[in-house]
Amino acid sequence: MQVSMTVNGQAVSGDVDPRTLLVHYLREDLRLTGTHVGCETSYCGACTVIVDGKAVKSCTMLTAQAEGAEITTIEGLAENGDLHPVQEGFWERHGLQCGFCTPGMILSAVTLLDENADPSEDEIRLGIEGNLCRCTGYHNIVKAIEYAGAKLRGEEPAPAEWEVNA
Amino acid sequence: MFPREFEYVAPSSLDEALGTLASNPGAKVMSGGMSLIPMMKLRLFSPELVVDIARIGGLDGIEDRGDHIAIGALVRHETTAASPLVQQHAAALASAAAWTGDRQVRARGTTCGALAHADIAADQPAAALALGATMVAASSGGTRDIAAADFFVDTLTSALEPNEILTEVRIPKSSGSAYDKLGRRGGHTDYAVAGAAAAVTMSDGTVSSAGVALTGVGTKPTIAAGSVEAIVGTDGSAEAIAGAVARATEGVTVLEDLYGSAEYKAHLAGVYVGRALEQAIAATG
Ligand SMILES: Cc1cc2nc3c(=O)[nH]c(=O)nc-3n(C[C@H](O)[C@H](O)[C@H](O)COP(=O)(O)OP(=O)(O)OC[C@H]3O[C@@H](n4cnc5c(N)ncnc54)[C@H](O)[C@@H]3O)c2cc1C
Ligand code: FES
Ligand code: FES
């Protein structure tokens, strides 16, 4: 079947089998391999992309369901080479180790901060409950999102813990 | 991992969708896909034709209808959870929707889909039961109303026929309702290890009517008839609630599963009936 949508600001269209999952269309047809496949069972969130402003698990969505949608993948987040504040936060606060969960984690965090510009630590932890990380223990991910929140609010982020405790 | 081959249609009108279902016995309704797609990927279920109802207009509203609120088929969990109407008149359902899955699941899954799916450990069915909701099912032959008490038939089985679409759920307004659960991943996260919803009406200091329902403990979301009987006619005091807690699983088949023994689940059922009743009664005040 024919599908068309906008991915990272560009109109794309293609011919897919109805059973093609959005994650496979993005990775295999569009070659946007920043969207990862982790659990394949709808739990880990590594496949998270933003569809019409909402974080969704692209392993649990048919490409056909995304007909006409606006999609942002991790490749579309930076503008003119400048990292998005959430990407910058993960860089500045060491919000990743192996990096496998990171694209999905970042896109969930972007929508979390869209809805709640100044989340508490608890709200951040609940906001990323759909994204699993096997490396970091989440601590620095929370710090990265706090950093990004401050940046997006036009505030100076709190200094890194390792600077304070040095 | 991906599903077996199927045909896909996304009708833009309800009549078209109902006509397609009527003429294709192997068809399956898809709404948010948050339960259907995982099942199809695991090949536990392989429909020949998927009828995606998400593009049908006019089914995505939450309306105030005087004595009840109506939630359309396409209203997503996150919308139910954030709706001031639902929060005010059906607090148990607002909490149940807020604690369904995670951010990504709530952005796609629908309240009506969660009811139709009838998972043994789903949140919103318990709230619908306690609040005495009515499901409106449409087919090409017309519509019928199904009381929540008759809707949850068995594990993953609702009273809907394969050619029917649940177009809306109607919830009688209640000023005193609450839902609480233990999630499988702790706190309120993920399906209920056990959970309970309660809705109460107080008149002159007496509980004049009540609904109490359990999820996660048996073969389906179910009314806790013993607790209802115990609490109605009392003053809703801590002692009265303790009486309802003691009868939480009366007549309910409690089953062991991956998340706990039957004994543990029966204990939790009591704990959550107590918490839900306490909050529901406090809310009426
Ligand atoms: C990671 C994850 C975590 C989850 N955690 C929870 C949780 O904590 N608590 C919980 O309760 N649920 C949980 N769920 C399930 C979630 O609530 C689903 O969204 C819901 O069960 C189904 O809603 P849907 O709109 O996605 O329906 P679909 O998946 O599209 O459909 C599910 C079933 O219902 C039928 N159906 C759907 N809508 C209609 C309709 N309008 N008329 C007739 N039939 C219909 C379909 O034919 C299908 O059989 C989770 C799911 C995932 C993937
Ligand atoms: S790969 Fe989609 S949730 Fe894990
Ligand atoms: S950094 Fe390795 S899974 Fe999160």
Architecture of domain B7-52: 2-Layer Sandwich (3.30)
pLDDT of residue B265: 97
Q: How confident is the model at residue A145 (pLDDT cuts 50, 70, 90)?
A: very high
pLDDT of residue A160: 95
What domains, with CATH codes, occur in chain A?
2-76 (3.10.20.30), 85-154 (1.10.150.120)
**Ligand 3, from A98, A107, A131, A142: best to mutate by most atoms within 8 Å of Cβ?**
A98
Q: Give CATH for domain B62-172.
A: 3.30.465.10
ipTM at complex level: 0.97
Q: What is the mean pLDDT of residues B165-176?
A: 97
Q: How confident is the model at residue B285 (pLDDT cuts 50, 70, 90)?
A: confident
Say if residue A65's pLDDT is above 90: yes
Phi, psi (deg, nearest 5) at residue A71:
-120, 140
Our CA-based measurement puts residue B247 at a distance from the nearest CA of chain A, in whole angstroms, of 34
Q: What is the mean pLDDT of residues A59-82?
A: 97
The tens digit of pLDDT for each residue in B12-63 reads 999 999 999 999 999 999 999 999 999 999 999 999 999 999 999 999 999 9
Same fold, B7-52 and B62-172: no
DSSP per position, B70-82: EEETT-BHHHHHH
**B104:A24 CB<8 A:** no
Q: Which CATH number fits domain B176-283: 3.30.390.50, 3.10.450.50, 3.40.710.10, 3.40.50.300?
A: 3.30.390.50
Domains of chain B, residue spans: 7-52, 62-172, 176-283
What's the rounded Cα separation, in Å, for the pair A127 and B133? 30
Residue with tokens 């005010």: B88
A149: left (phi over 0), alpha (psi -120 to 50) or beta: alpha
The tens digit of pLDDT for each residue in B267-282 reads 999 999 999 999 999 9
pLDDT of residue B279: 98
Which residue in A52, A56, A67 has the most chain B C-beta atoms within 10 A of its own C-beta, making it the best mutation to test that interface? A56
Q: What is the mean pLDDT of residues B121-150?
A: 98
What is the maximal distance between C-alpha atoms in chain A?
59
Tell which residue, A8, A96, A125, A53, has the closest CA to residue B188.
A125
The DSSP call for residue A15 is E
Our CA-based measurement puts residue B280 at a distance from the nearest CA of chain A, in whole angstroms, of 25
Residue B226: what residue type? G
What's the rounded Cα separation, in Å, for the pair B276 and B181? 9
pLDDT of residue A18: 98
Say if residue B207's pLDDT is above 90: yes
Do residues A23 and A35 make contact, with C-beta atoms less than 8 angstroms apart? yes
Q: How far is CA B169 from CA A50, B65, B209, B241, in A?
A: 29, 12, 21, 29
Residue B144: what residue type? R
Q: How confident is the model at residue A165 (pLDDT cuts 50, 70, 90)?
A: confident
**A56:B3 CB<8 A:** no
Q: How far is CA B140 from CA B7, B17, B51, B232, B249, in A?
A: 21, 9, 14, 41, 39
Say if residue A166's pLDDT is above 80: no
Structure tokens at B40: 């199809």
Q: Whose CA is nearest to atom 23 of ligand 1?
A: B113
Our CA-based measurement puts residue A150 at a distance from the nearest CA of chain B, in whole angstroms, of 22
Residue B167: what residue type? T
Say if residue B5's pLDDT is above 80: yes
**B3:A19 CB<8 A:** yes
Do residues B240 and B161 make contact, with C-beta atoms less than 8 angstroms apart? no
Tell which residue, B60, B61, B62, B50, has the closest CA to residue B11.
B50
Do residues A118 and A153 make contact, with C-beta atoms less than 8 angstroms apart? yes
Do residues A102 and A117 make contact, with C-beta atoms less than 8 angstroms apart? no
**What pTM, to 2 d.p., does this model score?**
0.98
The tens digit of pLDDT for each residue in A122-137 reads 999 999 999 999 999 9
DSSP helix/strand/coil, A119: coil
Between the CA of B30 and the centroid of ligand 1 the distance, in Å, is: 9
Q: What is the mean pLDDT of residues B73-92?
A: 98
